[in-house]
Amino acid sequence: MRAAFATRFDDANPLSALVVGEQPEPEQRDGWTTVEVRSSSLNHHDLWSLRGVGLREQQLPMILGCDAAGVAPGGEEVVVYPVVTTPSDPRGYSLLSEHFPGTLAERVAVPVENLVPKPADLSWEDAACLPTAWLTAYRMLTTKGRVDETDAVLIQGAGGGVATAAALIAVAMDKRVYVTSRDAKKRERISALGATALEPGARLPERVGVVIETVGEATFEHSLKASAPGARIVVSGATSGHLPKFDLRRVYAMQLEILGSSMGTPGELAALLAFCADKAIRPVVDEVIGFSEVERAFERLHEGGVFGKLVLDHTR
């Protein structure tokens, strides 16, 4: 079957490690089923995989991709929950494309319990955005960030899949939402979604109770400075670097909580789907690209100019 996969790693030039071609059909395992993929979406995770982050040589070749929506063998339209229990992994779980082949293929195998019914009013494209970026943002805000306890939220890096999701969700929750971006056009676009856009490092009009951090080194000090006493800084990524330098005195004097977060539970995915339906919010999709142009989609993600999600249409 047609797939996009890694056969080697290249930290400096991850796009050079991407191969599009034939891969074997999904393996049949007890309790697993195979989904015919209709749409998938790219995540920064796919670039990390090409760089060799989270993958080992012996796992190659590995089909990339965490997110998919598609059709189960009985004809049900489903969203794929991408977290798989994996006892051999120190985390106890892995994402599709880490230990098991990912979603950037004609078909993907997943445990039966990972199939979530696709709401009928959700398009294939929108459905493929939710399982990783949107689920991560939802858990960061709710379970980890306890966003109910504050009126103001800071999100670092406006353009990202997680960041745009967090912004839309927090705006829909009637929070005051501040978002930073290096890019003036992205600041304009995030403002149009109801957030207040700021340049990186800018002073906020108020301190916030929750910070959504996926950028890391470039923004972490600002996240600390923008935090109100007792704020939760929720970290799920470190795109710009994972070794920030910061002043620990601020952490204890302001009694801040720095919380790690990854993906979310099936219950949180169900809650997210219900929330999106209730508030009538949909993912920000930058572009829907035919799978035949998957290399171009990766180029766009790598360039960093994307606002929201890049979706792949597997029917073309």
Ligand X SMILES: NC(=O)c1ccc[n+]([C@@H]2O[C@H](COP(=O)([O-])OP(=O)(O)OC[C@H]3O[C@@H](n4cnc5c(N)ncnc54)[C@H](OP(=O)(O)O)[C@@H]3O)[C@@H](O)[C@H]2O)c1
Closer residue to ligand X (CB): 26 or 237: 237
Rounded least distance, CB 87 to ligand X, Å: 19
26, 82, 102, 237: which one binds ligand X (CB under 6 A): 237
Distance CA 214, CA 202 (A): 17
CA 56 distance to own-chain centroid = 22
Regarding 158 and contact with ligand X (CB under 6 A), the answer is: yes
Distance CA 62, CA 238 (A): 23
CA distance 245 to 221: 7
Which candidate, 149, 188, 142, places its Cα nearest to that of 165? 142
Alpha-carbon distance of 79 to 219, in angstroms, equals: 33
Residue from 45, 118, 175, 176 in contact with ligand X (CB under 6 A): 45
Sequence-distant (6+) residues with CB within 8 A of 143 are: 261, 264, 268
For ligand X, which stretch binds (CB under 6 A), given 37-45, 84-92, 112-120, 284-292?
37-45
Does 118 bind ligand X (CB under 6 A)? Our answer is no
182 binds ligand X (CB under 6 A): yes
What's the half-sphere exposure (Cβ side, CA atoms, 13 Å) at 112?
7
Contact map string, positions 184 to 223, toward ligand X, x by CB under 6 A: --x---------------------------xx--xx----
State which of residues 17, 122, 133, 212 lies at the interface with ligand X (CB under 6 A): 133
Count of residues of this chain found to bind ligand X when the rule CB under 6 A is applied: 32
Q: Are strands 257-260 and 227-235 parallel, antiparallel or unpaired?
A: parallel
> Is the Cβ–Cβ distance between 202 and 145 less than 8 Å?
no
Nearest distance from residue 108's CB to ligand X, in Å? Answer: 18
Residues within window 93-112 making contact with ligand X, judged by CB under 6 A? none
193: tokens are 């979604």
Using CB under 6 A, list all residues that contact ligand X: 43-45, 48, 132-133, 136, 157-163, 181-183, 186, 214-215, 218-219, 236-240, 262-263, 301, 304, 306
